[in-house]
A and B are shown apart, each in its own frame.
Chain A
Amino acid sequence: MTDEHYFGDRENFRSMEELHKAALAREEQIPEEGNERGPWWMYVIIVLTLSFGFFYMGRYLGEISDRPHVLFNEAAPTEAEEADLDLMAEGRRVYTRLCQSCHQQDGSGVVGAFPPLGGSAWVMEQPERPVKIVLQGFQGEIVRDGVTYNSVMPGFGQLLSDDEVASVVTYLRNSFGNEASEVSPEDVSGMREATSDRTTAWTEADLEAFMER
């Protein structure tokens, strides 16, 4: 029975407690359950679910071992497509991965913390400076557009291949309004060789001294 049934006639009672006690006395037991069979489509769903579940388990169980990612290791990438290296596309990918967190997506940097790359003379003049900074990093004070910057940039020489360094520097030199020549992986390889003895980040003085040599 319904709540309405119990409490509909409350005006006839003097107190709420009496009303409730009377309602409780009249409350009925839960009626005996039916024993219907359920609609046919329910059984169709059950059978389909069971079949799919067991099919899925059989198909994608992989192997009984401690190895993760079994289903994905099978399609190991074949590294035969090196011929067509798109410097700009690859450079954009490397930039988003490593550079964008400081120099921002549009290369504008952060005033007072990370210098801008768009319109930067160092980026656009000879390719040696940006390549060396990417390889070994940079530290110490520099002034750009009247703002002093004094952060440490880590070197990525260990992490990036010549292809990747060439791509990202090419990307820097031709994005954010910059226009300059491309840098080839062979150039990078030569420059990496020339500075292989340097382990610490460049400072402005060191870099200028090196460039004059």
Chain B
Amino acid sequence: MIRLSILLFGIIATFVIAMFGLTIVPKFFIDEGVREPTYLTSFEITEGHRIFVREGCIYCHSKQVRPEGFGADFERGWGRASLPTDYRNLLPHNLGTMRTGPDLANIGARQPSRDWHYLNLYQPRAINEKSIMPPFPWLFEVYSERARPGRDGLSLPEQYRIPGMKVLPADEARYLATYLISLVQESTGTE
């Protein structure tokens, strides 16, 4: 019985100590610095973040820049080393662990063009024929060329056009593009 008690105590104690060490203590250290700034996060951005999570973008695109001197993130122009304040307190965290595609922490500065994002979301191979990114046509609507005059469809390369039709971004594509363009490292990061 004594042995069983030691076993039980050891099992629980090792767990609880590490649990505090890796989840609660970091919370005390980090939270204070993150809560201070007020983030102007519009409806479009939170909605775009939700779609970003829903489509699982994070399984191929990390959203964290490693510091200069550790990997070539800086030299590739992906931005400065990420800070806890870069994430606008949007949950889930989306730091990511894969770079099947390029890092997105600073994509808004690198690629501020809405049209580019629309094209890339609708058909990534229209932009880079070697891309292996999945297309997201369900974020777009296809209209007859004469419908909704005044709004130009995506300027797709010949092989991706649908004859007599034009492709317009639906609300979800607009939100997602707004979110991606909002991913800009605003502060310089040097204190």
Contact = CB atoms under 8 A, between A and B. Distances in A.
Do A and B contact each other directly (Cβ–Cβ < 8 Å)?
A: yes
A151 B153 CA distance: 10
Contacts of B33: 66
B137 interface: no
B152 A152 contact: no
Contact of B110 (A68, A69, A93, A98): A98
A146 to B, nearest CB: 12
Nearest to A111: B157
A68 B84 contact: yes
B184 to A, nearest CB: 10
A102 interface: yes
B77 interface: yes
Interface string A84-103: 00000000011011100110
Contacts of B155: 112-113, 149-151
Given A112-B156, A151-B115, A69 B77 contact: no
A93 B69 contact: no
Contacts, number: 75
A104 interface: yes
A113 B157 contact: yes
Interface in B104-129: 109-116, 119, 126-128
Contacts of B127: 101-102, 110, 113-114
**Interface majority SS on B: helix, strand, loop or mixed?**
loop
Contact of A72 (B70, B110, B112): B70
A153 B115 CA distance: 8
A154 B177 CA distance: 14
Nearest to B75: A93
Interface string A139-167: 00000000001111110000100000000
A47 B92 CA distance: 41
Interface string B59-70: 000000001111
A101 B115 CA distance: 13
A178 B31 CA distance: 53
B77 A66 contact: no
A44 interface: no
B186 to A, nearest CB: 12
B158 interface: yes
A78 interface: no
Given A73-B67, A102-B116, A97 B156 contact: no
7 closest pairs, A vs B, by CB? A97-B77, A72-B67, A69-B67, A112-B157, A154-B112, A66-B29, A154-B113
Interface of B: 29-30, 32-33, 67-70, 75-77, 81-84, 109-116, 119, 126-128, 152, 155-158, 161
